[in-house]
Amino acid sequence: MQYIGLSFDFAYTEGIGHAIELAKAAAGNGYRYVVAVGGDGTVHEVANGILSSGGAKETTLGVVSTGTGGDFARSLGIPRQYEPACSTLVANRQSRVDVGVVEYMREGQKKQRYFVNGAGIGFDAAVVENIERSVKHFHGTIPYVLGLLRTLVCYRNKSATISTDNKQEKTRIVTMVVANGAYFGGGMKVAPSADLHDGEFDVMVVRELSKLGLLRAFPRIYKGTHITHPRVFMNKASEISVETQERAPVQADGEFLGEGPASFRIIPAVLSVAV
């Protein structure tokens, strides 16, 4: 097929993880562009396929955002409208972005996944887990807000040991977000100063906070003013590990992965993205 002068092949995904397989095969077969048409979950899987193919140096990720969040596209300034987004594929402009790697546990086994926008452990991952179970059919920020309210009912803060680069601390946390891009959850400015090109994560730790306090602070995330809250701590790091005494869910790019203990590390400038 052709569109705006581009010849292309396409394939529909058939379930969770299928986009990883499709993108890995396409990159391995020498496709110059592999384009994710969908939301952040689709971008997450396509990026994982490219990066695990061995062809990441020759393949550029394209993003046509049609899903619920579009946070990776928002962080990079890729247009949300499909026609301008498609035009980025013929503009011959690429940006090499940092990529994160998260290690976590699933069904008693250690797993690993790449992530492009951000990952987290604790409350934010519990929200994602609830979204995937019950409210993912809504659009925009609605799934996150509904998932947050459902999670708030039974969530408990976690005792955690957090190691960032050469520093370690023991504390009780609501959540920890490891941000590569600035936006999460359909437009929430979780990490206002995060940069996809600086070789570091912006790490947000929300220390022990009551449910009422969390609800009061939540609206501030949309403007990025939550970072001045006395229970919110921001830091930059390239490697982080977290251990908790209780079960703590783990998410990456808005996709539920498993549970802790978890570790996160950054790979600078490893993925080419059409912008």
Angle among Cα 92, 98, 99 to the nearest 5 degrees reads 110
Angle at 74 between CA 175 and CA 102, to 5 degrees: 40
Q: How confident is the model at residue 3 (pLDDT cuts 50, 70, 90)?
A: low
Query: Quick one: CA torsion of 254, 260, 265, 270, rounded to 10 degrees?
Result: -40
Task: Give the per-residue pLDDT at 142.
Answer: 66
199 pLDDT higher than 60? yes
Find, among 171, 4, 145, the residue nearest to 69 by Cα: 145
State the pTM of this model.
Answer: 0.90
- Report CA-CA distances (Å) from 186 to 189, 218, 241, 247: 9, 14, 26, 26
- In this structure, CATH architecture of domain 104-268: Sandwich (2.60)
| Mean confidence (pLDDT) of the chain | 89
Q: Which one-letter amino acid corresponds to residue 116?
A: V
**Looking at the chain, which residues constitute the CATH 2.60.200.40 domain(s)?**
104-268
Q: What tokens does 61 get?
A: 């990720």
Out of 60-69, 143-152, 233-242, give the one with best mean pLDDT: 233-242
User: What's the CATH number for 2-98?
Assistant: 3.40.50.10330
The residue among 2 and 219 whose pLDDT is bigger is 219
Which ranges in the chain are annotated with CATH 3.40.50.10330? 2-98
Per-residue pLDDT at 122: 95
d(CA 154, CA 192): 29
- Strand pairing partners for 233? 205
> What's residue 140's pLDDT?
54
C-beta of residue 94 within 8 angstroms of C-beta of residue 272: yes
23-78, pLDDT tens digit by residue? 999 999 989 899 999 989 999 999 999 999 987 788 999 999 887 678 999 989 89
